Structure 1
Amino acid sequence: MKSFEASLIISTYNQPKWLEKVLWSCENQTEANFEVIIADDGSKDDTKKLIDTFQKTSKLLIKHVWHEDRGFQKTIILNKAIVASNTDYLIFTDGDCVLRNDFIATHLNNREKGYFLSGGYFKLPMHISELITRQVILDQKCFNIKWLKEKGLKSSFKNNKLSSKGLKTKLLNALTPTKATWNGHNASGWKADIIEANGFDERMQYGGEDRELGERLFNKDIKAKQLRYSAVCVHLYHERGYVTPEMIEKNLKIRAHTKKSKITTTPFGIEKLS
């Protein structure tokens, strides 16, 4: 089997139209030495058919890790994807985040022992999300502020996430008041560190479930590097009808306990999957 530099783990659930765009962006990376693992939280057959097509036609090695739909169980399927990975370095994103062509290279170039990397995303409205075609991704127009404004994007300081280059990018990463956290849509770390933390806490549903892993990494003295303005992806619009106040409250309690008790590993993670 070919040796890869990294595993890109993409979480998805019943969004084949968006996932297709994400996979197009994976094929367009300047750094091609990575495997793709799709962590599928119970999608229907249309997602499987899409992935089957890419597996047959793509230059990328794509694995499909799936379990039955039993509600929001992203943490469980992510742990299964981690177990299925075959590299030392794991990069995480979501199936509604189109990656700029230097996304993988940026994560690999910034990796460092004792750190995880924290990126951000740039939210797009629905009408622009639907305009993104394979050619638009090949031409990188969806990361071009001029093109986006032509399609109706409003002016905002956040536009710097897409337009900054060189020294400006480094300054914005250093000066942003946003704390570097483990963001499920754009984060990476060493597999050994994630395994030692026992992966994601499977009690958690939507709302900070990704950040809680980062908080355990902090507790074991792993630091975070800020890549908010350099590891770039655009987030395609979707509703979040699956979110409930009970989910948020439960997750907040778990995260508070993790911080207060300086917890570094969870008993509700990967270990029992092995």
Structure 2
Amino acid sequence: MLKVQNLNVFIGHKKIIQGINFQIKAGEIVGLIGPNGAGKTTTMKTILGLTKFTGTIKINGVEVTANNHQALTKTGALIEHPAIYPFLTGRQNLILYSKDKVDMNNLIAVLEMSDYIDKKVAGYSLGMKQKLGIAIAFLNKPQLIILDEPMNGLDVTATIRVRQLIKHYAEAGTAFLISSHILSELQKVMTKAILINSGKIIIDQEVAEFNRLRQQKYQLGTENNLSAGKLLADNKIEFVSQDAYLVVKRQDVYSIQDLLLKNHIHLTEMHPATADFEQIVVDILAKQRS
């Protein structure tokens, strides 16, 4: 649905995006992750033809160029702030973009905007404006939807609603590219993660691979952790004492079991030590800097 090849973006003489390549299939929900200034919003704007670039961007096989935005006719987007007119009502804003009244009314209902949709947007709260911007992005059942910080300003109920909406559209074949600093929320919907830093893609992986990384260590409990720890240290096996456990590398588990058995130390508990997704991202970025 989206194919980006050798994408470069310059601001003056400085290269902001550096030869990135990635693609998104129909129905995929791709999280674009990275620190501030990494190039996430610039990448999204460039895909939408809002920034000059070199390289190739194709949406459903149609190339995006500076003079031809035909590829964007089936694309919805919310970048930075909702593009809405404050002197119009929410419904009037939606009508400007809507091609299907039933589809529009369904989004109003799903996002629970009925109570205020006929009031002028100038009086909307941040969360209300955000939901209206999301509704605009979802209008007309796009093939590709690009969302930059979609959960910004939303309460818990609205966040769940948006998450359900994303999954529903993805199941129908819509492809998503979503950027968010709230990784715990992004993790609940994305099927693939792209980690970008300093304008370069560091990782482009299925979520299943990230889940594998999350279980690289095991927590062990023994009848005598002090003696077990000394035994591991004497045999040069890396471990960390954490609460009531010894945290070890997965590849060492079998040899540790043999070693404990040989020294008559009983293993009482063993299970994967699941790392926090945010911590994995932080660790990857830290390794890149070192």
Provide the TM-score with structure 2 as the length reference.
0.24
- Larger RCO: Structure 1 or Structure 2 (Cα < 8 Å, ≥ 6 residues apart)? 1
Q: Of Structure 1 and Structure 2, which has the larger fraction of its residues in helix?
A: 1
